Structure 1
Amino acid sequence: MAEQAVPRADTPDCLMALRLMAESPENSELAHALPPSTASGFVIRPMERRIAALEDAARSTRAVFSSLETVYADARRREKPGYALLQGSETISDVLGAAVDACRTELLTAQPGGARPHELLERALEHEIPRLWAGVAQRTLYQHAVRSDPPTMSYIERITEAGAQVRTTAEVLDRLVVVDREVAFIPVQDERSTAALEIRQPAIVRYLVRVFEHAWDRAIVIDGSLRRSAPITSDVQRAILHGIISGETDESVARRVGMSRRSVAEHVRKISERLGSNSRAQLGYLIAINGLLDNLGDAPAPPRPNEAAPR
C-alpha cells in the first residue's frame, strides 16, 4: 500500500528536520512519511561520526599529555626538593647545627617555653659568640617566662653584649630557625625532638620570616629595668585570661606562655578568688563581663628599640 502524501506546506519543519517526513520525489509540493528506523539513520550517523572524531582527538591529546608527564616527572626528579623530613633528635641536631654553623649573614630563632638548661646555654655560647663577632646578625624571640630565670638571663646578657638582639613575648607559636633567609626549620609535632622539617622552598621560607617579623615587632626588648615591668605582667596575664575564656586547660595555657602548669594554676586560683568564681566556665564568663582584658589594655605600650627605657 502506497504511503499517503500530504501537502509539503502543511508538514511541520521539525518532522522534516528529523527525516520523519520527506519530499515526494515526483512532486516537491507533497511530502510523505518515512519509517523511524530509516529516519534515525539519517540523524544518528552524523552524530556518531562526530563522536568518533572527538574520541580520536581525545586519544591523540591523551598521548601527548602522557609524554609530557614523563618529561615533567624526569625534570622534577632532577630538582632539589623543597623540604626534607628529619627524624630523631640526633639527626635534627646534626642537620640544624650544620646549617647554623654555615650561617653567613642572619640567624632568626624563636624559642618557645621557659628556662633552658644551663649546660645547653653554655654550649650554645661557644658557637654563638664567634658567629656574632664575625658579623652575623642574630635575633631571638623568647617568652616572658625566661625573665625570671637567672641562667637564661645571664646567657642573654652575654650574647646581647656580643651583638645579638633578644626580645620576649607572651606567646611564641612554635620553635623556628631561619638561616640566611634560605633555609628554615620547624617541628613536625608537639614533641619537637621527634621530627622536624628542613624547608628550602623560597616562598615558604619567606612566609616564615614574615611570621617571625610580625611577632618581633610586638615583642619587648630585654632590659634590666623592664624585666618585671607592667607590660610584661600584662602580656602574661592577658594570655592566661584569653586561655580561660577560650576554655583551655591549665596545661595548654602553660605550654603556650612558657610557664609551669602549677604557676598557671596559681594565677587561675587568684583570679577565681578575686571574682568569686566556683567553676572554670563561670570564671570565663566573669572575666568577660568584668572587662579584665580591657583593663589590661591600659598598661603602657612596650618601648621599641629606638626608644629610651622608662626610668
Structure 2
Amino acid sequence: MFKADESRTIGSSVGPGNREMALYQWVVGNERLDPDRAARELGLGRDEVDAAVTALTELGLLKADVDDPARLRPVDPDLVAAVVTNSLEKSIRDQQAELHHIRDRFASLRGHYLDSLRRVSVGLELVPGLQEVRAALNRASAECTEEILTSQPGGTRAPGVLKEALARDTEMLSRGVRMRTLYHHTARFNGPSQAYVALVSGLGAEYRTAHELFGRLIVFDRRVAFIPEQGDGWGAVVVREPSVVHFLCEVFEQYWTHAEPFSDAATDGLEAVAKDIDRTIVRLLAEGMKDESIARRLGMSLRTARKHIADIMETLGAESRFQAGALAARHGLLGDPAESPTG
C-alpha cells in the first residue's frame, strides 16, 4: 500500500516519511501497537513496521508507556516539531543576520564610491550588465520625485516587460511624478503597446510618437540620465554631469515638440500612418542610408523595413536605391526637412 520512502531531512534532524506518518495515524487510532496487525492493515512488511516504529520513537512522536512498555503513546506533533525545527529556525536567523551584515558592509562602501564619482569631472558611470542596469533603474525610479523623460525606440515591447513596468510606473505616478515617453510611430501598430499606453495614460502619463528617434534615453529629475552602452551589450552609461544631462533633456524636448500624441494606427487611419512611414523611408533612402540603419531609425525589424523599401521602389519604378531617392525628390515626396528636429 505504501511505497518505501526516505524521511525528509530538517536541519540536522529527520522528519517522518509517508510510512512513519501512516503508522503514527494507525497507533493513534488503535491506542496500542500490534506490529503484525499494523503490517497487515497498512500493507507493509514486518521489517518496515519495525523500522517505522524505531524512526517515530527516535523522533519523539511515539513514547513507551511507563506501566506497559509494549504500549506506545503518541506525542503531540506540534511539540515535537518545535523541538525538531528549533535548530533550523536558529540557522535561518543566523543566515538572515549574516545577509544583513553583508549588505551593510557593501552599503558602507557605496558612499566612498559616490565620492569618487563626484571627483571625476565627466560624471559618467558604466553599468555593465542587464541585471545591474535594472537594479540601477529601479533605484533611480524610487528616488525620482518630479519628472521622468523616456525615449523608447522600437515599435514593440514584450508583454512581460510591459507588465514589469506597469507596477513601477503606477507607483511613480501615484507620487505625482510626471512621465513623458517618446515611441516610434510603429508602436501604434502593436497591440500590447496600445493597451499599455491607454491604461497608463489614464493615470496621467503622456505619450507621443515620431518617425525617427535619437536613441534610447531615460532621464530622472533632469539630474541623472541613462543611455545605452556602445555595442550590442545590455549595459548602460549613467550620466550625472549637469551640462550633458541638460543637453540630453533639450534634445528630448525638441523631439517631443515635433512628435504627435499617441493613438493606435486604426484610430488615425492605417493608410495615413503607413504613408508617413514610407515618406520617411524615402527621405532616408535619398540620404544613402542602409537598410539596417533605416530599420533602427524607424523602430522596425529589418525584414519589415526591406519590404517597405521594395514596395516603394516598385511604386516609383526605380531600379536602384539612388534612383528611388531621385524620383522621390522629383515628385516632391521627401517632405519639408524643417518638419523634422534633425533638419
State the Cα deviation string for residues 49-74 of structure 1 (Å, max 9, x = none). Answer: xxxxxxxxxxxxxxxxxxxxxxxxxx
Contact between 2:127 and 2:133, CA under 8 Å: does it hold in 1?
yes
State the Cα deviation string for residues 213-242 of structure 1 (Å, max 9, x = none). Answer: 000000000135754367644442232112
CA distance in 1, matches of 2:253, 2:128: 28
Superposition map of 1:33-52 within 5 A = none
Higher relative contact order (CA 8 A, sep 6+): 1
Contact between 1:147 and 1:227, CA under 8 Å: does it hold in 2?
no
Superposition map of 1:172-187 within 5 A = 172-187=213-228
Among 210, 230, 234, the alignment partner of 2:250 is: 210
Among 200, 203, 209, the alignment partner of 2:240 is: 200
CA distance in 1, matches of 2:329, 2:117: 57
Matched, 1:146 2:187: yes
Superposition map of 1:287-302 within 5 A = 287-294=328-335
| Cα shift at 1:190 | 4.5
| Cα shift at 1:181 | 0.8
One-letter identity of the residue aligned with 2:307: E
Task: Give secondary structure in 1 for the equivalent of 2:183.
Answer: strand
Shift in CA distance, 103/192, structure 1 to aligned 2, threshold 3 Å: farther
CA distance in 1, matches of 2:204, 2:319: 50
Question: Structure 2: which 5+ residue stretches go unaligned?
Answer: 1-114
Contact between 1:133 and 1:163, CA under 8 Å: does it hold in 2?
no
Task: Give secondary structure in 1 for the equivalent of 2:334.
Answer: helix
Superposition map of 1:216-295 within 5 A = 216-223=256-263, 226-228=267-269, 232-294=273-335
CA distance in 1, matches of 2:283, 2:302: 16
Shift in CA distance, 231/205, structure 1 to aligned 2, threshold 3 Å: farther
Equivalent residue number for residue 155 of structure 1 = 196
> CA RMSD of the aligned region, Å?
2.3
What is the TM-score with the length of structure 2 in the denominator?
A: 0.60
CA distance in 2, matches of 1:230, 1:80: 54
Matched, 1:111 2:152: yes
One-letter identity of the residue aligned with 2:165: A
Task: Give secondary structure in 2 for the equivalent of 1:181.
Answer: coil
Higher radius of gyration, 1 or 2: 1
| Cα shift at 1:284 | 2.0
CA distance in 2, matches of 1:125, 1:290: 45
Question: Structure 1: which 5+ residue stretches go unaligned?
Answer: 1-75, 302-311
| Cα shift at 1:80 | 4.2
What is the TM-score with the length of structure 1 in the denominator?
A: 0.66
Contact between 1:139 and 1:165, CA under 8 Å: does it hold in 2?
yes
